[in-house]
Structure 1
Amino acid sequence: MTSPLAQFLALHGADQATVDQALSLAEPLELPTRHVLINQGELATQAYFLIDGLCHACYITADGKTISKDFFWEQDLLIGFESLLTEEGSPYLLETLSPCLIQTLPAELILRWRDGMPALYMALTERQLLFREQKEQFMRLYSPARRYALFTDSVGELATHITAPQLASFLNLSLSQLDSLQRHLAASGK
């Protein structure tokens, strides 16, 4: 049986030697809820392939406010490209929101793919860019109710691990707006 990481890499253009190398360097982790993978300000030394579970990236402001950046779930490769490319600390914190099964890859392996496997590296960066473009469309083109419905449908049962403040921040709503939206949807049977 082929591992999910091997399938993911092959799907994105990795040859068998590259897949084998990645698998030989990958470290499996079984992590509990609320485990910090990268602290804001730390240099990202690992990339994380999420096999099972839910992760959350967020910014923490100087006054301690948490602003949700992204959520990640099964079959996502979490690469802190900004930290990786600038060799500076991560601009956000990355944590688990549910028990997670993850395989880590050394960050330097991702950088080696830039020169040694440019097609794979390009596919991964294009995937990241496409994700960003789709998120921008999601945030700008859809009403709060539509964003809520699309997001909760896409994460399915994992949504139970997301707190109201995290969800409100991600959807760019206040807590009272989210509460009002949820009450309206519950009253309308949606």
Structure 2
Amino acid sequence: MKDLFDFILRFGSLNQQQMDLIASKATELHLPKDEYFSEAGKIARQVGFLVDGILRVCYYNNKGEEITKYFIDENNLVVDLESFDNEICSSSYVEAVTDCKLIVFQRKDWLELLQTIVGWDAIVHKITSRALIQKVERRSPLVSEDATTRYLKFLEIYPNAVNRIPLSYIASYLGVTQSSLSRIRKNIR
């Protein structure tokens, strides 16, 4: 719980009573590798905070190929925001790349926190804005750079994750084949 509050308090302040209320609404979730936190075709009904592990957000394109959009590592919130906020079916999967430990809030509890805690909505907005900016910053170089540069950028963005993520997922994220990624890795060693 300490990691969650350290994270939240970077975006605003809370008193002890407010933190106690947040803690009372949270549950711990152990998500085994390859299990889904949320799934395409279903409505996202929970917000998570990733304490330990790596998640990936992926979807299937119109050819049936699995495409990795991005990864989520420790000390980040996890939610399919569009699905969660608008109660619509998600178009993506959030899958555990490793065994994961999360602190989870069910939708009704999250909404209650938004209605009860003064300033909670502002904190959540700052966290969401930061996440969206990060997502754009992480994806933008992948569009215009060559594969080697994209891989080097990946190493910069996810320095603690590279040895914990299967090469097939990294290749999918970078938009290259697994054999191309192997060649790139061999050439930069």
TM-based fold match above 0.5 = yes
2:29 match: secondary structure? strand
Counterpart code for 1:20: D
The residue aligned with 1:48 is 48
Deviates more, 1:143-152 or 1:104-113: 104-113
CA distance in 1, matches of 2:63, 2:145: 30
Deviates more, 1:39-48 or 1:162-171: 162-171
The residue aligned with 1:74 is 74
2:55 match: secondary structure? strand
Sequence identity (%) = 24
Task: For residue 126 of structure 1, report the CA deviation from its aligned partner.
Answer: 1.0
Counterpart code for 1:3: K
The residue aligned with 1:149 is 152
Is 2:175 aligned against 1:172? yes
Task: For residue 41 of structure 1, report the CA deviation from its aligned partner.
Answer: 1.1
Task: For residue 20 of structure 1, report the CA deviation from its aligned partner.
Answer: 2.5
Give the alignment's Cα RMSD to 1 decimal: 2.3
The residue aligned with 2:8 is 9
The residue aligned with 1:35 is 35
CA distance in 2, matches of 1:154, 1:133: 12
The residue aligned with 1:119 is 122
Q: Which runs of 5+ in 1 are unaligned?
A: none
Is 2:164 aligned against 1:161? yes
Residues 157, 128 of structure 1: alpha-carbon distance in 2 compared, 3 angstrom cutoff: closer
Task: For residue 73 of structure 1, report the CA deviation from its aligned partner.
Answer: 0.8
Deviation sequence 1:125-152 (CA, Å, 0-9, x none)? 2112211221233324544223212323
- Number of aligned positions between the proteins: 185
Q: Which runs of 5+ in 2 are unaligned?
A: none
CA distance in 2, matches of 1:179, 1:35: 26
Task: For residue 18 of structure 1, report the CA deviation from its aligned partner.
Answer: 3.7
